[in-house]
Amino acid sequence: MAKEKTVYVCSNCGQDSPKWVGKCPSCGEWNTYVEEIVRKEPVNRRPVSGIETQKPKPLALADIVADDEPRINMHDDELNRVLGGGLVPGSLVLIGGEPGIGKSTLVMQTVLHMPEKKILYVSGEESARQLKLRADRLSSISSDCLIVCETSLEQIYVHIKNTNPDLVIIDSIQTISTESIESSPGSIAQVRECSASILRFAKETHTPVLLIGHINKEGSIAGPKVLEHIVDTVLQFEGDQHYMYRILRSIKNRFGSTAELGIYEMRQDGLRQVSNPSELLLSQDHEGMSGVAIASAIEGIRPFLIETQALVSSAVYGNPQRSATGFDLRRMNMLLAVLEKRVGFKLAQKDVFLNIAGGLKVNDPAIDLPVISAILSSNMDAAIEPEVCMAGEIGLSGEIRPVNRIEQRIGEAEKLGFKRFLLPKYNLQGIDTQKLKIELVPVRKVEEAFRALFG
């Protein structure tokens, strides 16, 4: 008979303790410890998956064959690029996002376009009829996807053994539970144990598994941080439900870059891949409007142009307000301090609101120059010419620092018909200006950029 015991587990990082503590010694969060009942299993217990494998033997590094794995084509260019070129056999991928953002739609849409693969879709949240209705709405291509509604991990392994699929999808990991632990589905112990068991299954059988996870109110994937450490790849599906754009980001990827970005447009018949986001992220006409600057940003390997909007007005409620949507608020405060100290613009008694159009969140430091240009444009109520694009990082002394991959940024602006491009002076080295149809305006300090923009 297995022994039962009670432990306290941190809901943030998964650290356990024999007694309750107020502050987690691992992650430093307060009041995150919850009580869990666990059972110690016998040492000779068979694996949950029912698959007996030989124990690995130590190998010399020279004897290990490291050929490139043939990746599975997901028939989705955005998803393939974020994964690093496709799905790696035997990998465990976690797709997280807020409820209703479109995680199940993305996965269902993807598997319906893979008729050459046998796919087992395990649903713990929705009925088979609900999945059928969604598939019909997505104008399905493949009807060979196997659907099973199951929440028991042991029964899921039985279905896998009977069907022998090429790809397994579990929607969602919070609904799955194993009989080896006496706690409710979605608890920290259940999520951790089920994920570790599924990882062993994926590695032993070389079968890729897609897990779907929810986001809690703090914005992180529900369950302990150890869940993100177990899986090979963590993809975050994000975007405002009031916007039609959805962003697929790679937070962790053992088989590719974490700087990649996939953009989708939510439509009635599913998610549409956005191959050229620049045309969608720029409003059609902003001529004569102040507080708008066009930035050339890069996320991953793709450059795109985004619209930076700012509103500066006199503070009428006492303390001036500072608000930024899609941009780091602390960095905006730093840029405002540079404008105040180095350039002499008095913004201490002004409300400043900043918005990256389209609901995007941008971390590229090259949009510093467009941000302060939009702020000064709104402050002076003077419009920036609509055919001007820019990129540049701002230093604390007011200098404009060089940015990476400037040729790609210039090429994207030229392709969309922009006439002038403001760039750091140092970046001008090595660029053949004779072949370009766009005028390059090199600037060294913030004051030079403002003279080029506003005369």
Query: Which residues make up each annotated binding site for ATP?
Result: 97-104
| C-alpha separations of 407 from 99, 259, 304, 411 in Å | 39, 19, 13, 6
| Interatomic CA distance for residues 51 and 288, integer angstroms | 68
Q: Which residues pair with 32 in a beta bridge?
A: none
Extended beta strands in 41-161, E state: 92-97, 119-123, 146-149
Task: Confirm if 261 and 232 have CB atoms less than 8 A apart.
Answer: no
Task: Confirm if 40 and 5 have CB atoms less than 8 A apart.
Answer: yes
Pair of tokens at residue 220: 């992180």
C-alpha R_g of the chain: 26
Peptide bond into 172 cis (omega under 30): yes
Non-local CB neighbours of 202 within 8 Å, separated by 6+ positions: 90, 91, 92, 208, 209
Non-local CB neighbours of 303 within 8 Å, separated by 6+ positions: 296, 297, 405, 408, 409, 411, 412
Question: Nearest 5 degrees, angle CA 360-CA 364-CA 370?
Answer: 80
Annotated binding site: 97-104
| C-alpha separations of 11 from 21, 30, 183, 245 in Å | 12, 11, 14, 31
